[in-house]
Structure 1
């Protein structure tokens, strides 16, 4: 969870900075800095969960292969 939080802080800062540089508007920069990274952070959390499951499947398959239960 710490990784997700630090990623969110970095993302908020980047989103605000880029939007402010493009528009010169603090309010719009603040809105984009809150909305876009918040949605993206939730997506990132689930992205990590999917990759964890894929790694578990890969490990389980390798274990079955090395024990001779599955042949390719």
Structure 2
């Protein structure tokens, strides 16, 4: 669990720092740092769902 939390903190920190450095806007950096991981989490769910279905289909036909 600690590894997951530390990765999450690193991810948010990188997102914030990159946007802040690119735009010079701390508020925008903070907004992106909060929104981007949320969107990635949702995208990851659908990504896993797609690959799970693909794997079940391959098992059924193979």
Q: Provide the TM-score with structure 2 as the length reference.
A: 0.71
Aligned length: 58
Moved over 3 A (4+): none
Unaligned 5+ residue runs, structure 1?
Answer: 63-72
Larger radius of gyration: 1
Unaligned 5+ residue runs, structure 2?
Answer: none
Aligned to 1:14: 14
Cα root mean square deviation, aligned: 2.2
Aligned to 1:30: 30
Q: Provide the TM-score with structure 1 as the length reference.
A: 0.63
Q: Of Structure 1 and Structure 2, which has the larger fraction of its residues in helix?
A: 2
State the Cα distance separating 1:27 from its structure 2 match.
1.6
State the Cα distance separating 1:14 from its structure 2 match.
2.7
